[in-house]
Structure 1
Amino acid sequence: MSQHPTFTSDFSDTLATNVQIPEVETSRLSSGLVWRIFTVRPLVRLGIISLACLSALCGLLGPYFQKLFVDAILKDSGANLPTERLILYISLAFIALLASQTLAVACKLVCSREGVLTNRWLSRSLYQHGLKLSQASRRSRPTGEFVNIFSQDVSAITMMIDELLPVAVMSFIPFIAAPVAVGFYFSLPPLPLAAVSTLSLTLLFVMAYRQSGFFIAFKRLATERLAVVNEWLQNIRILRILGWTELFEEKIFDKRRSETVNRLAMVTNGSGMSAFAQVAPSLISITGIASVVFTHTDVTPGEIFALLWVLSIFLSRPIRSLPFNLVMFLDGLSSARRLQTLFAMPLERGAEHPSLHIEPLYALDVKGLELTLDGVTLIKRLDLRLKKGEFVAIIGEVGAGKSLLLDSLLCEAPATFESYTIEGIDVLPLDLAALRAYFAYAPQEGFIMSSTLRDNVVFEYGASADKDEAVSRSLGLAAFALDSQAMSGGLDTEIGERGVNLSGGQRQRVSLARAHYNDRPIVLLDDCLSAVDVDTERLLLDGLIEGAWTHKTRLLVTHRLSVLPRVDRVLVMHHGAIQMEGTFDELMANSEEFRDLTRSMQDKKKSAPAQEGGNQV
């Protein structure tokens, strides 16, 4: 059985490195995400703190040697200057400050690398978790929210490592070291400096807290607007026909107005916060100098120089960056909470127990399948058995549950089973990827990527031309002609987004070609002949469905009566149950209800619009 093709990015290529974040079950990320991010590689985190501490220590040694240098120069201007000592002081000051900056840059580089690793780890975990979400979980959240989580929240959490961590550590240490240094240089009364510093920091914290609230609201409003826009774009054709475009446009404008009001408040608060962050170091410096002047009578220029350096330079950057660090931290916390909520959402079945091998009497054997959504039972304790190589058709009125049955077999719908085996293997304990690897699937509305025809069949962006022979064979069996004017580029022909430059029949044939290329033992066909004409249908049946797939197990949902005489069995569904089954001839001969159903289907076909021409490609 071939592996399922993917077109996802290879996260392992994000960094050319063997360093990995330890794997963890995504369910364990539903709490304590921030703690795990900051402690996941403890030795590296300890190294970051050590680099920051050494940078701060060197940053304090610099002004100390500068103080000694200035005092030595001015101590006795008439005496011979001790040249060697002066050179030593200024050299040590230069080396200390250079070492401080070098260590700070090294700390930032390590954090940047850790940030990339964290981003890769979070993105991979989020992607894998999203694939396993139950249908109820996916329906409970708009698409725009998932887009926002990937585009904004993962980045916000990553910034806590590559931006916040180095700045926070290198800012926290000066807040501790500066008072110690001032006490070492001078014997100052602590109250004035502590009062001004505490007042300034408190005000900055309040403004930063307000700013984070505005920023969180900004992301929430953007998510809500994206959800409305996404709904609007997906249904634009129906909205235009019904004349509802203005209603949706007004909803979008309302969201935009709310965003604008919040944005204005955020900019106003941010401007005030930034302005005060620039002024606060000057207030602290003035307080410190005033304390020295009023409490000391013998202040040297070197001491004043050192004090100004500690309060105005060494301490100014941490103070100025403090509000933005707080905003970044609080924003990261809100993003972490959103991710934790997503990681806590219920999943579909996981691989918790080993599968049991049962003697394969049937290619597919389902007992007691039941599907209930929103309190309504849509499929009622259904049993289904398919022999290997059997070709079975499912018919029924609209809403009978035909497509839901296929979704349930793929575990795309939250159905329950008494038992479910494929080729003798109990598949209920399998994870979704392993279960779905048994199936090829061609839906009525085929998914088309905005890429080349080759990529759409292989289902992989940038598919290699080495696969062209197999791709061309699959397209040929699917009656998709490559020699038409519309396909002048052959397999390199670009297909527009969602297949806008393809007809409905062409999209269905691309899906059939993809299903053939993937080569799975069971083929599920969900009304995939509905948009092709009679001639194309015959080509598909002769060449593919009853030709290349003769030995495959095939389950076809259809409304095409012309197919029924060619299948091994016909299943008739009604209100979520199999009402009758048998060969087409048996049912026509023995069931008046079946004959009425076929007449009804024939009448609907006559009243339906003509399908695409068989030669149109």
Structure 2
Amino acid sequence: MLTLKQTTVINNGGAILNVLSYDIGKFDLLCVYLNDVWGSPFAAIMLFPLISMNIGFLPTLSVYFVFVLIAILQTVFSRMAAKYRLESVRWADKRIRAINECLIGCETIKMYCWEKPFERLIYKLRYNECQYIGRANGLRAINFSLYFLSLPLATLTAFGSYYLWEKQRPPLTTPLIFTTMVQLVILRSILVNLLSMSIESISELLPASKRIDEFINLTVISESEMSKEKKSNVFNDGSIQFENASFTWNDISNQLIDINLHIEPGTFVGILGAIGAGKSSLLSAVLGEMRIVNGRRNRSQKKIAYVSEKPWLFTGTIRENILFGQILDHEKYRKVLEATCLIDDLNEFQAGDLTVIAENGTNLSGGQRARVNLARTLYGSDEADFVLLDDPLSAVDGQVARKIVDQCLLNYLKSKTRLLVTHRIHFLSHTDYCLLLENGRIKKINSFNELMLNEPEVRKIYEQQVLSDMC
């Protein structure tokens, strides 16, 4: 799980959950019934002469014919039920993915009053899932009915054929009847119960093993890409280099095209462009989250610190969210709080940095969540050469944003290679140079002032940001 790419987890969340909750359990059932695959036929063969001693060869053969016929019917129904169950799991994948997307975007859904359409979508997915579950359970119910029906049929066949074909034998007695009945019960358990259950478990195991294999291959692909990059990387100086590199998320179309870029260590680089131009995707390409289609991606093997666009917080104290399991260094911790302008905010809380963050940080403002997220990255950035910042200033006001740029980006992280994505592009005047992205391509590489003079698109973004700040 930890080696999977973020997009793989997001796009296959339902499938991964089903693998962990459903498919793996099939191997437990296989361990229970595996020996019955060979043990049941062997036991049935050994039981044949014992039953023949009581009721004769032909009646015993008739009984076996009835049990084998029922076992074949159960096998057919079990295989059909396994197919229906596989279809229900596929619909469950889609339903879980849809529910996950609704939970992530619940605020947007509420704002645009999309509750009913999404409710109908999820209901339809669940309805289709239940249809296949109902069919599979119906076939299993038929199998159970055949199990309970098999003994009366076998008993009628045994004693009826005994009456028709074994007239030379002595009449049936109470000990003979009860002995034969016990043997038939054992035979039913062997052929109709244990053997059919083992065949059903194998039928369900085959698609489950394919799904597990697909899940494992996701991890192998990720590791192979990482090892491939390690082999192609011939430098270790903290630089980043792309040579005619194209990247994709979904193998359908390339989101980044013909990227040529060389970032020297210690450089402060700004990334700007219109919405959807590929700014966040470029950071993901540096992280190794996107699959490279063409060209080369060379990157230092040293660590990367990353500030995500959407803050990620867990339920715990503010201090625990910042330290993230690391040892508390009071001096370093104080500098991080100063760099992220969190000291005044913590003073407003009665418990200070021991204040417990609610689920998804609902008891913090958007700016506070963004700065706690940034503080965590700063505290763990000592061993990192790169710091990738995906719009960390979007949720804070202008005055706080200015302080963060001065104290954090230009001071605390001054020795790092910094890549900053922001829509507040007037702060990019502090960068060494900027990348202007357009439709997944690097349109221009130049200083911010030169881009302001020569690129109307940059001036338009700047004017929109100024109007937004005034409002």
TM-score, length of structure 2 as denominator length: 0.81
Residue 549 of structure 1, aligned match among 413, 427, 437 = 413
Q: Is residue 495 of structure 1 aligned with residue 353 of structure 2?
A: no
User: What is the letter of the counterpart of residue 236 of structure 1?
Assistant: C
User: What is the letter of the counterpart of residue 365 of structure 1?
Assistant: Q
SS state of the match for residue 347, structure 1? helix
Q: Is residue 310 of structure 1 aligned with residue 183 of structure 2?
A: yes
Q: Among the aligned pairs, what percent are the same residue?
A: 23
1:533 is matched with 397
1:444 is matched with 309
1:593 is matched with 454
1:523 shift after superposition: 0.6
1:347 is matched with 221
Q: Is residue 478 of structure 1 aligned with residue 340 of structure 2?
A: yes
CA distance in 2, matches of 1:357, 1:207: 56
CA distance in 2, matches of 1:200, 1:372: 53
1:251 shift after superposition: 2.4
Residue 182 of structure 1, aligned match among 14, 36, 51 = 51
1:403 is matched with 280
1:219 is matched with 89
Check conservation: 2:67, 2:191, Cα contact below 8 A: no
Check conservation: 1:282, 1:312, Cα contact below 8 A: no
Residue deviations 1:388-430, cap 9 Å, x none? 222222223333332222121112223356444345xxxxxxx
Cα distance 1:413–1:567, how it changes in 2: closer, same or farther (>3 A)? same
Where does the alignment leave 5 or more consecutive residues of structure 2 unmatched? none
1:213 shift after superposition: 3.7
Cα distance 1:501–1:280, how it changes in 2: closer, same or farther (>3 A)? same
Check conservation: 2:238, 2:299, Cα contact below 8 A: yes
Check conservation: 2:40, 2:191, Cα contact below 8 A: yes
1:206 is matched with 76
1:555 shift after superposition: 1.3
CA distance in 1, matches of 2:255, 2:87: 40
Check conservation: 2:37, 2:199, Cα contact below 8 A: no
Richer in strand (by share): 2
Cα distance 1:567–1:257, how it changes in 2: closer, same or farther (>3 A)? closer
Cα distance 1:369–1:489, how it changes in 2: closer, same or farther (>3 A)? same
CA distance in 2, matches of 1:258, 1:417: 40
1:266 shift after superposition: 4.0
CA distance in 2, matches of 1:353, 1:378: 20
Aligned ranges 1:228-377 → 2 under 5 Å: 228-285=98-155, 287-288=157-158, 294=166, 296-297=169-170, 306-313=179-186, 315-316=188-189, 319-343=192-216, 347-348=221-222, 349-352=225-228, 355=231, 358=234, 363-371=239-247
CA distance in 2, matches of 1:566, 1:487: 37
Cα distance 1:384–1:211, how it changes in 2: closer, same or farther (>3 A)? closer
Cα distance 1:290–1:174, how it changes in 2: closer, same or farther (>3 A)? farther
CA distance in 2, matches of 1:451, 1:168: 51
Where does the alignment leave 5 or more consecutive residues of structure 1 unmatched? 1-126, 424-434, 612-617
CA distance in 2, matches of 1:267, 1:372: 42
TM-score, length of structure 1 as denominator length: 0.64
User: What is the letter of the counterpart of residue 449 of structure 1?
Assistant: F
Cα distance 1:277–1:492, how it changes in 2: closer, same or farther (>3 A)? farther
Check conservation: 1:442, 1:511, Cα contact below 8 A: yes
User: What is the letter of the counterpart of residue 453 of structure 2?
Assistant: E
CA distance in 2, matches of 1:187, 1:542: 98
CA distance in 1, matches of 2:24, 2:268: 47
User: What is the letter of the counterpart of residue 432 of structure 2?
Assistant: D
Larger mean Cα displacement after TM superposition, 466-475 or 171-180:
466-475
CA distance in 2, matches of 1:237, 1:359: 45
Cα distance 1:570–1:157, how it changes in 2: closer, same or farther (>3 A)? same
1:574 shift after superposition: 3.8
User: What is the letter of the counterpart of residue 424 of structure 2?
Assistant: R
For the aligned residue pairs, the C-alpha RMSD in angstroms reads 3.7
Cα distance 1:571–1:174, how it changes in 2: closer, same or farther (>3 A)? same
CA distance in 2, matches of 1:263, 1:382: 49
Aligned ranges 1:141-220 → 2 under 5 Å: 143-161=13-31, 163-165=32-34, 168=37, 171-183=40-52, 188-189=57-58, 190-220=60-90
SS state of the match for residue 227, structure 2? coil
Cα distance 1:186–1:357, how it changes in 2: closer, same or farther (>3 A)? same
SS state of the match for residue 423, structure 2? coil
1:507 is matched with 369
